[in-house]
Chains A and B, each alone.
Chain A
Amino acid sequence: MVTDVISENATRTPRRPRPVRETRGTRAFGAVNTVLLVLLCAAMLYPFVTVLAQSFSSPGAINAGQVSFWPVGFNTDTYAAVMSNDTFWRNYGNTVLYTVVGTVIAMLLTTTYAYVLSKKHLKGRKALIGIAVFTMFFNGGLVPNYVLISSLGMKNTMWAIVLPGAISVFNLLVMKSFFESLPKELEEAAQIDGLGWYGIFGRITLPLSKAVIATMVLFYSVAYWNDWFAAFLYLDKTELFPVTLFLRNLIAGASTSASEGAAAAGTTTALVSTNIQAVTMILTVIPILCVYPFVQRYFVSGVMLGSVKG
């Protein structure tokens, strides 16, 4: 598959010929470089470590500023408290629901449109591409979007979260260039056998595209999982919130009592202790961390594919 070839190329160490004898300068540089990169990794991971440590620490130790790498006053009470919270689980379930429904809809729309755009002989193809690409550079803006969703009656429904993001033009172009890279001969043979475009798409193209479909499913589901802003704008009822908005309200409640954003969202949370925030963060991020090893490989190849101009 094309994606595999590309990702292999990207991760391959370039074959710059080794110097015959490593000079002292070269070795010193190598050592410094390694140290720098190890420090970088530490900086990348540290926030996760400290949040994890806080989630197992006692509130007293956190407020005394004793927690950094390791839990102080180890306990799992906070986990028990958060996990027995009905609102948390309800919002967690909402996130799962929005992610699944959103990804299904997004895949249906993106796949069909990308397929149409990949047919180079199609009359009007340029206009169809232009319609999509233009929206990358010019968008309606916050207020008209809000007015639109309100007047469609979508406020306080799942559709306000799921529909507006259903086609990401970037993903669309990645998929289009994948379809374009498939061998034409198969489709032509199918055409001679009397298959229409529906048949070719469903029986020939899609089965050949499992890799790119998997990539796109991951792209969209991570995006839906992480989204909080659409919910923040369009949902007023706590029982509809996704877990990211639940977390946001915890954070906003804790950060400052005078935050107007908190007032707008209808939060009345008093000071929320740091360890509850930490536990919620960990529980929200775990699914992402679990799919991350798979996601990462595909994301990289997806970015590569997208950078090949369509």
Chain B
Amino acid sequence: MPLTRDETAPRPADATGKTAPERPATRPGAAGPGPRPRKRKQTWREAFRRDWQLYSLALVPLIFFAIFKYGPMIGNVIAFRRFRPGGSMFGDEWVGLRYIEMFINDPTFWHVFANTAILGGLTLVVCFPLPIVLALLLNEVRKRHFKKIVQSISYLPHFLSVVIVVGMLMQLLSLQGTVNQVIGAFGGEGIPFLQRPEWFRAVYVGSEVWQTVGWGTILYLAALTTVDDSLYEAARIDGAGRWRQTWHVTLPGIRPTMMTLLVLNIGTFLNVGFEKVLLLYNPLTYETADVISTYLYRVGLVSNNLSYAAAIGLFQAVIGLVMVLSANLISRRMVGTSLW
């Protein structure tokens, strides 16, 4: 019963009495002798009697979470158990750390691990700063209509299905596509980009930029509107030009937003766009394109080594969780912004 967790929490349930003294009529649970300085802890019986309708509304969503979110989490035990298709979804017998040892001794795993780190790292390094730059440029635009049009157009790719994005990429990068037309116009030789492992990372990161740069500006633009105008005025009086105003006023003003997004991005950088890689790669480009999630997809669902793939997936999920937590910790220590 997750509901009972709060009962043992050191703090009393937060709202038991915040508004109590003024409105005793709306709080049938508060049978105590008048307003008291200390909040009385509400018992579960009282809470249920008063709010059973609310709890009942939460019931179906809780069942959803239990089955579709926490079910698979528990299902990860098959990483430590032998799994037989058609048998129990939680496997048949314990095999200990056998599957963990298997992937630790699997050179392919370490190869795809390195690929994942490189691809994720490149994406982070390229895709994180660009929205900031774009937001600063947009912020300098004086004509409102022009700014709105640029914004609308640059958000558009965010709404496309990965399938569409990859389809467009394939057309642009094919031997008859625009990129090779341009290369041809300069007298160069056509390049089959999607069949060349050395081009995969550039193609992937480039398309990520195309998809995310516009959308990424939204939070920064919002943060920019909150920067105090008098700071700019003061900076101007001190003789700061536009460039130094940006450096000393604007950037510090959006630093909390930057840090929050950086934390989120660092925490999730190993979850490179699985669906996109899956659509974009092929055996010719596995050398650089194969990442943890595509490898475990092939091992698990194509070759049916479900337990082995689950072990890899669990490893990746745990690393992801640890990275979010530690990035958040660092950000809280260093700049005082935290995700929660």
The residue that B47 contacts in the complex, of A10, A115, A124, with Cβ under 8 A, is: A124
- Residue of B whose beta carbon sits closest to that of A116: B58
A76 to B202 alpha-carbon distance, docked (Å): 35
**A151: shortest Cβ distance to chain B, in Å?**
4
Residues in B whose Cβ lies below 8 Å from that of A222: 159
CB of A148 closer than 8 Å to a CB of B = yes
Whether A225 contacts B161 in the complex (CB less than 8 A), given A17-B232, A151-B89, A196-B53, comes out as yes
Whether A139 contacts B47 in the complex (CB less than 8 A), given A148-B89, A307-B219, comes out as no
**A99: shortest Cβ distance to chain B, in Å?**
12
Q: Is the CB of A112 within 8 A of B57?
A: yes
Q: Is the CB of B137 within 8 A of A37?
A: yes
- The digit string for B307-334, where 1 denotes a CB below 8 A from any CB of A, is 0011001101100110010000000000
- The digit string for B146-186, where 1 denotes a CB below 8 A from any CB of A, is 11111111111101111110111011101111101100100
A214 to B25 alpha-carbon distance, docked (Å): 35
Residues in B whose Cβ lies below 8 Å from that of A293: 152
Cβ < 8 Å to B, chain A residues 35-62: 36-37, 40-41, 43-48, 50-51, 54, 62
Q: Is the CB of B54 within 8 A of A13?
A: no
Q: Is the CB of A248 within 8 A of B60?
A: no
- Residue of B whose beta carbon sits closest to that of A140: B72
Q: Is the interface of A mostly helix, strand, loop or mixed?
A: helix
A16 to B54 alpha-carbon distance, docked (Å): 47
A15 to B142 alpha-carbon distance, docked (Å): 10
A10 to B324 alpha-carbon distance, docked (Å): 28
Residues in A whose Cβ lies below 8 Å from that of B239: none
Residues in A whose Cβ lies below 8 Å from that of B157: 44
CB of B247 closer than 8 Å to a CB of A = no
CB of A135 closer than 8 Å to a CB of B = yes
CB of A181 closer than 8 Å to a CB of B = no
Q: Is the CB of A41 within 8 A of B159?
A: no
Q: Is the CB of B313 within 8 A of A131?
A: no
Q: Is the CB of B140 within 8 A of A30?
A: yes
Q: Is the CB of B283 within 8 A of A131?
A: no
Cβ < 8 Å to B, chain A residues 246-299: 247-248, 251-252, 254-256, 258-261, 264, 274, 277-278, 281, 284-285, 288, 292-293, 295-296, 299
Q: Is the CB of B178 within 8 A of A68?
A: yes
Whether A13 contacts B144 in the complex (CB less than 8 A), given A133-B340, A135-B65, comes out as yes
Whether A112 contacts B89 in the complex (CB less than 8 A), given A126-B6, A247-B163, comes out as no
Interface residues on A, range: 35 or more
- Residue of B whose beta carbon sits closest to that of A46: B178
Q: Is the CB of A41 within 8 A of B150?
A: yes
CB of A88 closer than 8 Å to a CB of B = no
Cβ < 8 Å to A, chain B residues 17-75: 18, 23, 25-26, 42, 44, 47, 51, 53-55, 57-58, 60-62, 64-65, 67-75
- The digit string for B282-312, where 1 denotes a CB below 8 A from any CB of A, is 1110000000010011101110001001100
Cβ < 8 Å to B, chain A residues 197-232: 197-198, 201, 222, 225-229
Residues in B whose Cβ lies below 8 Å from that of A238: none
Q: Is the CB of B58 within 8 A of A40?
A: no
CB of A21 closer than 8 Å to a CB of B = no
The residue that A50 contacts in the complex, of B62, B134, B166, B171, with Cβ under 8 A, is: B171
Q: Is the CB of B57 within 8 A of A256?
A: no
- Identify the 9 closest CB pairs spanning chains A and B, nearest first: A140-B72, A144-B75, A141-B313, A226-B161, A113-B61, A121-B15, A197-B53, A123-B47, A144-B72
Given contacts A123-B13, A226-B160, list 11 more A-B pairs with CB under 8 A: A17-B232, A41-B153, A124-B3, A125-B6, A141-B316, A143-B296, A146-B301, A148-B72, A197-B51, A281-B168, A303-B219
29 A-B interface contacts by CB (under 8 A): A11-B151, A13-B147, A33-B141, A36-B137, A37-B141, A44-B156, A51-B171, A65-B175, A68-B178, A110-B61, A113-B57, A113-B58, A116-B54, A121-B16, A122-B54, A125-B13, A127-B6, A142-B309, A143-B78, A144-B72, A144-B89, A196-B53, A255-B170, A255-B194, A256-B195, A258-B282, A281-B164, A285-B164, A299-B155
